[in-house]
């Protein structure tokens, strides 16, 4: 049995019933085979056995009282996966599907993504099975305060700096920050995604979506293509999807579809982003409300967004939202590039279809790293007690995304996987972490 298979067996045995975590580990470990052959010292030092085991897992009760006076209890968690190259960094997800398998998969991916940014941040992720949908602001506040009342003792500006993810935006970060400050009396950069008046960074809101499009643009330019006049389908209608849409439109592309977990809209004239922003960012409504304002657009209940003809597809909603059949439909419709704004949105079978059909493909670890990179820039600004302008942050973000593309492509080429950014991103992200772990001894 190979080293990778041995480690994989332990992962499955030690983390039963956590398929998303197994999927994420399998994909990374498989692609490291050639690196492990070239570097036997990684095996001697047990790098793989250590890198698949979180450094620390914290699971805690989150009690709060709803608007009817009823006591509610949720399960919160923070998984601090790897601190070889810097303090832990990674988002918090609030969604009913949250359980340790999801948070572990996200935390594991985060190690390599953070390394790829070139910035000094380790990997972590956290969250809770709380569903913010349909809750009042007061309920969300009470929940966030209770969540932070336990979490605060495990985080800190030089220990672990959480950020947003699904279900966690500016409102939730605000409530959590307020509670952290109240308990600790520290005014420090312990969370990112803060408001601009109280330590936030310009361009953080836009960063993941913009970064995704910067990297995709670099990837398609290398093959003589561009966003100008391209038809683009984007899934989701949250933070990542909205700002990916904005950047595609700025580059002259036409985004014709968006969705949420109920269904998708198709607007052949191109999505009107002001309407989407109002529905999603202000009213916290459903994407189907779009057709009330734009009657020539259509709304379809359920899945099916990937059957729409497009040149570029950007999945920006959630894990495993694009399967083999969807990938075949995209290929049949002439789609030439897919880049992941969400984490692990394409199933392994879908990725194989893209690669077999020479569709350019950028995995989430590389393509959506702009969010965490800009969070790290927010940390730098907090440390300096200084703020960069929007243009300064945006220019740094663009540089980082172009470098991620270059480093992942170079690593793929070095190991004989021409154009395979999945392998390239895994290898480039892994090497820096593995070498740091080697240098720091068996810890």
Residue 25 and residue 426 in contact, taking contact as beta carbons nearer than 8 Å? no
**Per-residue x/- marks for ligand NDP, 16-55, CB under 6 A?**
----------------------------------------
Closest distance between ligand NDP and the C-beta of residue 430, in Å? 19
Nearest to 371 by CA among 401, 391, 347, 395: 401
Q: Does 166 bind ligand NDP (CB under 6 A)?
A: yes
Q: Does 318 bind ligand NDP (CB under 6 A)?
A: yes
Stretch of residues binding ligand NDP (CB under 6 A), selected from 57-65, 142-150, 258-266, 424-432: 258-266
Among 48, 62, 84, 240, binds ligand NDP (CB under 6 A): 240
Nearest residue (CB) to ligand NDP, 18 versus 260: 260
Nearest residue (CB) to ligand NDP, 148 versus 244: 244
Closest distance between ligand NDP and the C-beta of residue 279, in Å? 11
Residue of 125, 135, 247, 280 marked catalytic: 125
Instruction: Name every residue whose Cβ is closer than 8 Å to that of residue 183 and which is 6 or more positions away in sequence.
Output: 148, 149, 152
Q: Does 249 bind ligand NDP (CB under 6 A)?
A: no
Closest distance between ligand NDP and the C-beta of residue 71, in Å? 25
Q: Does 144 bind ligand NDP (CB under 6 A)?
A: no
Closest distance between ligand NDP and the C-beta of residue 2, in Å? 31
Helices 19-31 and 3-14: crossing angle, nearest 10°? 170
Stretch of residues binding ligand NDP (CB under 6 A), selected from 6-14, 247-255, 340-348, 426-434: 340-348
Q: Does 215 bind ligand NDP (CB under 6 A)?
A: no
Nearest residue (CB) to ligand NDP, 363 versus 371: 371
Cα distance between residue 247 and residue 35, in whole Å: 36
Q: Does 15 bind ligand NDP (CB under 6 A)?
A: no
Nearest residue (CB) to ligand NDP, 262 versus 440: 262
Q: Does 201 bind ligand NDP (CB under 6 A)?
A: no
Maximum C-alpha span of the chain: 64
Catalytic site includes residue 268: no
Total of residues contacting ligand NDP (CB under 6 A): 23
Closest distance between ligand NDP and the C-beta of residue 187, in Å? 23
Q: Does 167 bind ligand NDP (CB under 6 A)?
A: yes
Q: Does 371 bind ligand NDP (CB under 6 A)?
A: yes
Q: Does 261 bind ligand NDP (CB under 6 A)?
A: yes
Q: Does 238 bind ligand NDP (CB under 6 A)?
A: yes
Q: Does 110 bind ligand NDP (CB under 6 A)?
A: no
Nearest residue (CB) to ligand NDP, 42 versus 210: 210
Which residue's CB atom is positioned nearest to ligand NDP? 238
Closest distance between ligand NDP and the C-beta of residue 388, in Å? 18
Q: Does 275 bind ligand NDP (CB under 6 A)?
A: no
Among 231, 245, 343, 382, binds ligand NDP (CB under 6 A): 343
Q: Secondary structure of the chain in the HEC alphabet?
A: CCHHHHHHHHHHHHCCCCHHHHHHHHHHHHHCHHHHHHCHHHHHCCHHHHHCCCCEEEEEEEEEECCCCCEEEEEEEEEEEECCCCCEEEEEEECCCCCHHHHHHHHHHHHHHHHHCCCCCEEEEEEECCCCCCCCHHHHHHHHHHHHHHHHHHCECCCEEEECCCCCCHHHHHHHHHHHHHHHCCCCCCCCCCCHHHCCCCCHHHHHHHHHHHHHHHHHHCCCCCCCCCEEEECCCCHHHHHHHHHHHHCCCEEEEEECCCEEEECCCCCCHHHHHHHHHHCCCCHHHHHHHCCCCEEEECCCHHHCCCCEEECCCCCCCECHHHHHHHHHCCCCEEECCCCCCECHHHHHHHHHCCCEEECHHHHCCHHHHHHHHHHHHHHHCCCCCHHHHHHHHHHHHHHHHHHHHHHHHHCCCCCCHHHHHHHHHHHHHHHHHHHCCCC
Q: Does 342 bind ligand NDP (CB under 6 A)?
A: yes
Q: How many CB atoms lie within 10 A of CB 310?
A: 25
Q: Does 234 bind ligand NDP (CB under 6 A)?
A: no
Residue ranges in contact with ligand NDP by CB under 6 A: 164-167, 208, 236-241, 260-262, 316-318, 321, 341-343, 368, 371
Active site residues: 125
């Amino acid at each position: 049995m190979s080293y990778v298979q041995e480690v994989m067996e332990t992962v499955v045995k030690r983390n039963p019933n956590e398929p998303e975590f197994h999927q994420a580990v399998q994909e990374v470990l498989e692609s490291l085979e050639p690196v492990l052959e070239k570097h036997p010292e990684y095996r001697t030092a047990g790098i793989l056995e250590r890198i698949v085991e979180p450094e620390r897992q914290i699971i805690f009760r989150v009690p709060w009282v709803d608007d009817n006076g009823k006591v509610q209890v949720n399960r919160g968690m923070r998984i601090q996966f790897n601190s070889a190259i810097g303090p832990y960094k990674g988002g918090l997800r609030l969604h009913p599907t949250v359980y340790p398998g999801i948070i572990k998969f996200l935390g594991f991916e985060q190690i390599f993504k953070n390394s790829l940014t070139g910035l000094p941040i380790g990997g972590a992720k956290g969250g809770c099975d709380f569903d913010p949908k349909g809750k009042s602001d007061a309920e969300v506040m009470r929940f966030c305060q209770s969540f932070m009342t336990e979490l605060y003792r495990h985080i800190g500006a030089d220990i672990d700096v959480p950020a947003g993810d699904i279900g966690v935006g500016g409102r939730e970060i605000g409530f959590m920050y307020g509670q952290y400050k109240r308990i600790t009396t520290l005014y420090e950069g312990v969370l990112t995604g803060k408001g601009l008046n109280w330590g936030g960074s310009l361009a953080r809101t836009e960063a993941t979506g913009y970064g995704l499009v910067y990297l995709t643009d670099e990837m398609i330019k290398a093959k003589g293509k561009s966003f100008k006049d391209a038809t683009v389908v984007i899934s989701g209608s949250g933070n990542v999807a909205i700002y990916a849409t904005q950047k595609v439109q700025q580059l002259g592309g036409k985004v014709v579809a968006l969705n949420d977990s109920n269904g998708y809209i198709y607007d052949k004239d191109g999505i009107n982003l002001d309407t989407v922003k109002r529905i999603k960012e202000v009213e916290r409504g459903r994407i189907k409300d779009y057709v009330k304002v734009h009657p020539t657009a259509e709304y379809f209940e359920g899945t099916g967004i990937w059957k729409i003809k497009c040149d570029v597809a950007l999945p920006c909603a959630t894990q495993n939202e694009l399967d083999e059949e969807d990938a075949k439909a995209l290929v049949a419709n002439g789609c030439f590039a897919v880049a992941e704004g969400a984490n692990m949105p394409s199933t392994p079978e879908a990725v194989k279809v893209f690669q077999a059909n020479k569709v350019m493909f950028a995995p989430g670890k590389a393509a959506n790293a702009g969010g965490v990179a800009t969070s790290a820039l927010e940390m730098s600004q907090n440390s300096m007690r200084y703020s960069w302008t929007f243009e300064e942050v945006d220019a740094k973000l663009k540089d980082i995304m172009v470098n991620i593309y270059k480093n992942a492509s170079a690593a793929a080429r070095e190991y004989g996987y021409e154009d395979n950014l999945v392998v390239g991103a895994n290898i480039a992200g892994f090497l820096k972490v593995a070498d740091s772990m080697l240098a720091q001894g068996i810890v």
